[in-house]
Amino acid sequence: MPERSTSPGLSPRQVLITLAALAAVSITAFMVIGAKGSWGFVLPFRGTKVWGIAMVGGAIAVATVLFQTITANRILTPAIMGYDALFRLVRTVQIFFLGGLSYATLNAQLQFAFETVLMVGLSTLLFRWLFNRAARDLYLLVLVGIVFGVLFRSLAGLMQRLINPNDYAVLQDVMFAGFNTIDKSLLTVSTLAILGSGVWVWRLLPALDVLNLGRDNAINLGVAYRSVVSQVLIIIAILVSVSTALVGPVTFFGLLVSNLAYMLIRSHKHALILPAAVLLAIIALIGGQVILERVFGFDSALAIIIEFVGGVVFIAMLLKGNRK
Amino acid sequence: MIRTQAVSRAYGDALVVDNVTLDIPAGGVTSIIGPNGAGKSTLLSMVSRLLDMSAGTVTVDGLDVTRTPSDVLARRLSILRQDNHVSARITVRDLVAFGRYPHSKGRLTAQDRHQIDQAIAYLDLGALANRFLDELSGGQRQRAFVAMVLAQDTDYVLLDEPLNNLDMKHAMGMMKLMRQAASELGKTVVLVLHDINFASWYSDYIVAMKHGKVAAQGAGPEMIRPEVLSEIYEMDIKVHEIGGQLISVYYG
């Protein structure tokens, strides 16, 4: 684990520099190690992959930290709360009603834009309703999130059983993506969406720091609480849509990088935590990919390992009772 | 002046605050007392726009709290509630610095830093300034949050049970500080208190609530009387004059 090399005594600035260096090393290693044949082919080919992985990792990291800030906890992530199950339901419903052929021939970018807008609408509605009712009780929130996740998955599952086998094949193709099969036609539009969200987050940074103090103190300090939380929910929906569309669902990865970032940075400032989480995501995904694929010769097992470690961390944190 | 007009708050069928019309005078220390479940904290939450009212309006210096932009209100009125759970790692100094957010939106000026240092000193937190909140005791954390509210430097300061978790020395220090803020800095301090002797000793004006309504209100000496207090708390309360102050005795 490259993260271990930074001791807790470092200042946030030093941590960020170290992480940036590690990320650069990971990316270089990924581009260079084990390359056979013409560099003119290898570099652009691997470059696209690195680009996609970095975008997805960054999106998940930022979405997780934002979600944890507005829910004032460090255990819940958008994935655990059923965000990507909702996204998959949206996809299944489309194929269910349009049929596989017309779905597959739709303009990918237009369709992606449509899905993202739908996702933003649905999740904002759902989570605003949820926050007004259950936000004060963490365990209730976890429970409701899991129940909704199951509901979305079951609805999607039901529809998947009702459609004909050809449509199902199309669906399978768009559902079970992985870090190795990033959909390249979406990369440009995803990058724009992610960078746009980044600028948006940048403008919200001071208010986000205040949200750390909880709803009541944030209102006391003059943060337009409802407006800021709604904006953050929209940003999260965009980021989750993008990452799920590109690589499919990853449940515990966000939890892992957000908590590592809190641990290493030891500050409440989002201007420090968010870059750290993004860099950690890049190191974990790209560095991990290098080690597994190039050094040990395993293929596509990284997601499983990350999910396993993240899952263990999740259970450990739940058992610890989120006392902090 | 804080003015509530026919303010009510219902949860389902239960009216927690029932048609309260109340003027809290500007300047001085006003304490809100009353038994558990009387609606004191709920009223304070509505006055400070943390909770929407079911009916009625609240104005602070003529500003309607539900319509005035939150950041405008944040420079005029501050509120601290009882439970302040923070999951992020924040030092005492950073927490107090948040009090300047309404004025500087996260970019501290020299004057902000001066106010922060002053608030830390007022609450005797100098030695703890660089400690993280999760390393402090309940009372120390409570003082850190009060320091944040002081750094906010608003005309109106609303505190919901500020003496919770505090030992005698710091409870007294807190009340002296509030008195000082009222008399020297001209602030209006509104407190929800459970200890009627603290209310008697340090407040200019006392409002007693019971069953969601204002049961009685008046200057200290009018309120700290056996017949008034016994009626409010439904128990036998005797009042003695000790050193020129009215002290209630209700033990045994």
| Domain spanning B2-82+155-249, CATH architecture | 3-Layer(aba) Sandwich (3.40)
Distance, CA of B21 to CA of B28 (rounded, Å): 20
Place of tokens 């103190």: A217
Residue A266 has its nearest CB partner, among B50, B85, B89, at B89
Residue B84 has its nearest CB partner, among A217, A221, A324, at A217
Distance, CA of A188 to CA of A199 (rounded, Å): 17
What is the three-class DSSP state of A299?
coil
Task: Return the bridge partners of B3, or none.
Answer: B23, B59
* Cα distances (angstroms) measured from residue A170 to each of A39, A91, A146, A202: 34, 11, 27, 38
Is the minimum CB–CB distance between A4 and chain B shorter than 8 Å? no
Is the minimum CB–CB distance between B81 and chain A shorter than 8 Å? yes
Instruction: Give which of A209, A212, A217 to mutate to test B binding, by max B Cβ within 10 Å.
Output: A217
Closest residue, chain B, to A323 (C-alpha): B87
Residue A18: count of CB within 10 angstroms of its CB: 19
Is the minimum CB–CB distance between B98 and chain A shorter than 8 Å? yes
Q: What are phi and psi of B125, to 5 degrees?
A: -110, 10
Task: Report DSSP letters for chain B, one per residue.
Answer: -EEEEEEEEEETTEEEEEEEEEEEPSSEEEEEE-STTSSHHHHHHHHTTSS--SEEEEEETTEETTTS-HHHHHTTEEEE-S-----S--BHHHHHHHTTHHHHTT---HHHHHHHHHHHHHTT-GGGTTSBGGGS-HHHHHHHHHHHHHHH--SEEEEESTTTT--HHHHHHHHHHHHHHHHHH--EEEEE-S-HHHHHHH-SEEEEEETTEEEEEEEHHHHSSHHHHHHHHTS--EEEEETTEEEEE---
Q: How confident is the model at residue A134 (pLDDT cuts 50, 70, 90)?
A: low
Is the minimum CB–CB distance between A268 and chain B shorter than 8 Å? yes
Q: Which pair of structure tokens corresponds to residue A265?
A: 């940075």
Tell me whether residues A221 and B101 touch, CB distance under 8 A.
yes
Is the minimum CB–CB distance between A225 and chain B shorter than 8 Å? yes
Q: How confident is the model at residue A273 (pLDDT cuts 50, 70, 90)?
A: very high
Distance, CA of B145 to CA of B174 (rounded, Å): 12
Cα torsion B126, B130, B132, B133: sign: positive
CATH for A163: 1.10.3470.10
- Shortest Cα–Cα distance, B98 to chain A (Å): 7
Is the minimum CB–CB distance between B136 and chain A shorter than 8 Å? no
Instruction: Look at A168-182, A271-285, B180-194, B221-235 and tell me which has the smallest mean pLDDT.
Output: A168-182
Tell me whether residues A221 and B80 touch, CB distance under 8 A.
no
What is the three-class DSSP state of A297?
coil
Tell me whether residues B74 and A221 touch, CB distance under 8 A.
yes
Which residues constitute the domain of residue A311?
Answer: 2-318
- Shortest Cα–Cα distance, B143 to chain A (Å): 15
Q: What are phi and psi of B166, to 5 degrees?
A: -95, 140
Distance, CA of A63 to CA of A73 (rounded, Å): 14
Distance, CA of B29 to CA of A61 (rounded, Å): 48
pLDDT of residue A20: 93
Q: How many domains does chain A have?
A: 1
Tell me whether residues A205 and B101 touch, CB distance under 8 A.
no
Mind listing the pLDDT tens digit for each residue in B30-72? 999 999 989 999 999 999 999 889 999 999 999 999 999 999 9
Tell me whether residues B85 and A214 touch, CB distance under 8 A.
yes
Is the minimum CB–CB distance between B69 and chain A shorter than 8 Å? yes
Instruction: Look at A179-193, A206-220, B62-76 and tell me which has the smallest mean pLDDT.
Output: A179-193
Residue B106 has its nearest CB partner, among A209, A216, A266, at A209
Place of tokens 């949050």: B145
Tell me whether residues A210 and B101 touch, CB distance under 8 A.
yes
Residues in B closer than 8 angstroms to A324, CB to CB, are 87, 89, 134
pLDDT of residue A138: 61
Domain map (residue ranges) of chain B: 2-82+155-249
Please give the average per-residue pLDDT across B197-205, as a whole number: 92
Instruction: Give which of B70, B142, B154 to mutate to test A binding, by max A Cβ within 10 Å.
Output: B70
Rounded to 10 deg, the angle between the A138-162 and A108-134 helix axes is 140
pLDDT of residue B87: 78
Query: Which helix H or strand E contains A239, and what residues bound it?
Result: helix A225-247
CB-CB contact of A23 with A279 (8 Å): yes
Task: Report DSSP letters for A152-185, one per residue.
Answer: HHHHHHHHHHHS-HHHHHHHHHHHS--TTS--GG
Please give the average per-residue pLDDT across B127-143, as a whole number: 90
pLDDT at A5 over 50: no
Distance, CA of B38 to CA of A245 (rounded, Å): 53
Please give the average per-residue pLDDT across A31-55, as a whole number: 82
CB-CB contact of B22 with B214 (8 Å): yes
Distance, CA of B77 to CA of A19 (rounded, Å): 42
Indicate whether A109 belongs to any domain: yes
Indicate whether A297 belongs to any domain: yes
Mind listing the pLDDT tens digit for each residue in B71-82? 999 999 999 998
Q: Which pair of structure tokens corresponds to residue B95?
A: 């927490």
Distance, CA of A277 to CA of B154 (rounded, Å): 37
Instruction: Look at A76-80, A237-241, B171-175 and tell me which has the smallest mean pLDDT.
Output: A76-80
Which residue did the predictor score with more confidence, A108 or A49?
Answer: A49
Tell how strand B188-192 and strand B2-11 pair up.
unpaired
Q: Which pair of structure tokens corresponds to residue A134?
A: 């259950």
Indicate whether A324 belongs to any domain: no
Residue B34: count of CB within 10 angstroms of its CB: 25
Is the minimum CB–CB distance between B86 and chain A shorter than 8 Å? yes
Task: Return the bridge partners of B206, or none.
Answer: B31, B218
pLDDT at A6 over 70: no
Q: How confident is the model at residue A181 (pLDDT cuts 50, 70, 90)?
A: low
Place of tokens 């000793």: B201
Query: What is the identity of the amino acid at A131?
Result: F
Please give the average per-residue pLDDT across A292-304, as a whole number: 71
- Contacts with A20 (C-beta within 8 Å, 6 or more apart), sequence order: A279
Is the minimum CB–CB distance between B101 and chain A shorter than 8 Å? yes
Tell me whether residues B90 and A212 touch, CB distance under 8 A.
yes
Please give the average per-residue pLDDT across A110-122, as a whole number: 83
- Residue A4 is given by DSSP the state G
pLDDT at A324 over 60: no
- Contacts with A121 (C-beta within 8 Å, 6 or more apart), sequence order: none
Task: Return the bridge partners of B24, or none.
Answer: B2
Is the minimum CB–CB distance between A128 and chain B shorter than 8 Å? no
Distance, CA of A302 to CA of A286 (rounded, Å): 10
Tell me whether residues B70 and A266 touch, CB distance under 8 A.
no
- Residue A251 is given by DSSP the state S
Tell me whether residues A216 and B81 touch, CB distance under 8 A.
yes
Residue B70 has its nearest CB partner, among A205, A209, A224, at A224
Is the minimum CB–CB distance between A206 and chain B shorter than 8 Å? yes
CB-CB contact of B73 with B49 (8 Å): yes
Report the percent of chain B where pLDDT is more than 70. Answer: 100
pLDDT of residue A274: 95
Task: Report DSSP letters for A220-232, one per residue.
Answer: HTT--HHHHHHHH
Distance, CA of A291 to CA of A283 (rounded, Å): 11
What is the three-class DSSP state of A123?
helix
Mean residue pLDDT across chain A: 82
Tell me whether residues A72 and B87 touch, CB distance under 8 A.
yes
